[in-house]
Amino acid sequence: MGRLVVVSNRVADPRKPAAGGLAVALRDALLATGGLWFGWSGRIVEDGTPGEGEVRVQPAGSVSLATLDLCRADHDAHYAAYCNEILWPVFHYRLDLAEFGAAAAEGYRRVNQLFARKLLPLLRSDDVIWVHDYHLIPLAAELRAAGCAHRIGFFLHIPLPPPPLFAAIPENAWLTRALFAYDLVGFQSRADVGHFVGHAVAEAGATAFGECGLEAFGRRTQVRAFPIGIDVDEFQRLGKTPEAREAYETTRTEYARRKLLIGVERLDYSKGLPQRIRAFRELLTRYPENRHSATLIQIASPSRETVGAYASIREELERLCGSVNGDFGELDWMPVRYIHRTVARRRLSGLYRAACVGVVTPLRDGMNLVAKEFVASQSAADPGVLVLSRFAGAAEELVESLLVNPYDVHGTADTLQQALAMPLAERRARHEALLRRIREHDVHQWCTSFLQALDASSTPALKPRARAQRSPRPASRARPVRSSRPR
The Cα 484–Cα 487 span in angstroms is 9
Q: Whose Cβ is closer to ligand ADQ: residue 165's or residue 204's? A: 165
Helix axes 190-204, 172-179, angle to 10 degrees: 110
User: Which one of the listed residues 157, 199, 441, 444 is annotated catalytic?
Assistant: 157
- Binding region for ligand ADQ (CB under 6 A) out of 144-152, 191-199, 342-350, 377-385: 342-350
Query: Minimum CB separation from ligand ADQ for residue 268, in Å?
Result: 7
Minimum distance from CB of 351 to ligand ADQ (Å)? 10
Rounded to whole angstroms, how far apart are CA atoms 38 and 111?
13
Ramachandran area for residue 368 (φ above 0: left; ψ -120 to 50: alpha; else beta): left
Chosen residue from 65, 367, 386, 413 binding ligand ADQ by CB under 6 A: 367
d(CA 393, CA 368): 7
Residue choice 370, 385, 434, 435 for contact with ligand ADQ (CB under 6 A): 370
Rule CB under 6 A: say whether 343 interacts with ligand ADQ. yes
Query: What length is written for the chain?
Result: 487
CB 389, min distance to ligand ADQ, A: 11
Q: Does the protein bind ligand ADQ through residue 266 (CB under 6 A)?
A: yes
**Span interacting with ligand ADQ, options 248-256, 359-367, 403-411, 416-424, rule CB under 6 A:** 359-367
Please tell me whether residue 202 binds ligand ADQ under the rule CB under 6 A. no
Taking alpha carbons only, the member of 268, 272, 279, 275 closest to residue 362 is 272
Choice between 230 and 294, CB closer to ligand ADQ = 230
Contact status: 365 vs ligand ADQ (CB under 6 A):
yes
Member of 207, 236, 342, 418 binding ligand ADQ (CB under 6 A): 342
Strand order in the sheet with 184-187: 55-60, 63-71, 36-45, 4-10, 128-132, 151-155, 184-187, 219-225, 213-216, 207-209
**Residue closer to ligand ADQ, measured from CB, 174 or 391:** 391
479 burial type by CB count under 10 A (0-12 exposed, 13-18 middle, 19+ buried): middle
Which of these segments, 201-209, 247-255, 369-377, 459-467, binds ligand ADQ (CB under 6 A)? Answer: 369-377
The CA distances from residue 416 to 333, 382, 422, in Å, are 19, 18, 10
Cβ proximity to ligand ADQ, 180 vs 374, nearer residue? 374
The answer to whether 334 and 260 have CB atoms below 8 angstroms apart is no
Binding of ligand ADQ at residue 21 (CB under 6 A)? yes
Rounded to whole angstroms, the Cα distance separating 145 from 120 reads: 11
Torsion of CA 141, 146, 151, 152, to 10 degrees: -30
The H or E element that residue 69 is part of is strand 63-71
Give the range of 172-180, 263-271, 279-287, 309-317 binding ligand ADQ by CB under 6 A. Answer: 263-271
Catalytic member of 74, 231, 365, 442 = 365
Is 365 part of the annotated catalytic residue set?
A: yes
Query: With binding defined as CB under 6 A, does residue 445 bind ligand ADQ?
Result: no
**Residues 158 to 177 in contact with ligand ADQ, rule: CB under 6 A:** 158
Alpha-carbon gap, residue 154 to 129, rounded angstroms: 9
- Whether 195 is a known active-site residue: answer no
- Quick one: 71 or 355, whose CB is closer to ligand ADQ? 355
Three-point CA angle 59, 62, 68, nearest 5°:
35
DSSP state of 424: H
Among 243-251, 307-315, 360-368, 453-461, the segment contacting ligand ADQ (CB under 6 A): 360-368
Exposed/middle/buried for 464, CB within 10 Å: 0-12, 13-18, 19+?
Answer: exposed
247 binds ligand ADQ (CB under 6 A): no
325 vs 342 by CB, closer to ligand ADQ: 342
Residue 373 binds ligand ADQ (CB under 6 A)? yes
Q: Do 461 and 219 meet the contact criterion of CB atoms below 8 Å apart?
A: yes
Select from 61-69, 146-154, 283-291, 340-348 the region that touches ligand ADQ (CB under 6 A): 340-348
Reduced to 3 states, what is the DSSP secondary structure of residue 109?
Answer: helix
Is residue 301 near ligand ADQ by the rule CB under 6 A? yes
Q: Are 111 and 44 in contact (CB under 8 A)?
A: no
Beta carbon of residue 156, minimum distance to ligand ADQ (angstroms, whole number): 9
Give min distance, CB of 62 to ligand ADQ, in A. 25
Determine the size of the site formed for ligand ADQ (CB under 6 A).
19
Q: Could you say whether residue 368 binds ligand ADQ (CB under 6 A)?
A: yes
451: part of which helix (H) or strand (E)? helix 443-456
Give the closest residue to 383 by CA, choosing from 360, 353, 361: 353
Shortest Cβ 120–ligand ADQ spacing (Å): 27
User: Does residue 157 interact with ligand ADQ by CB under 6 A?
Assistant: yes
Which residue's CB is nearer to ligand ADQ, number 204 or number 363?
363
Give contact residues for ligand ADQ (rule: CB under 6 A).
21, 157-158, 228, 264-266, 299, 301, 342-343, 348, 365-370, 373
Supply the residues annotated as catalytic. Answer: 157, 365
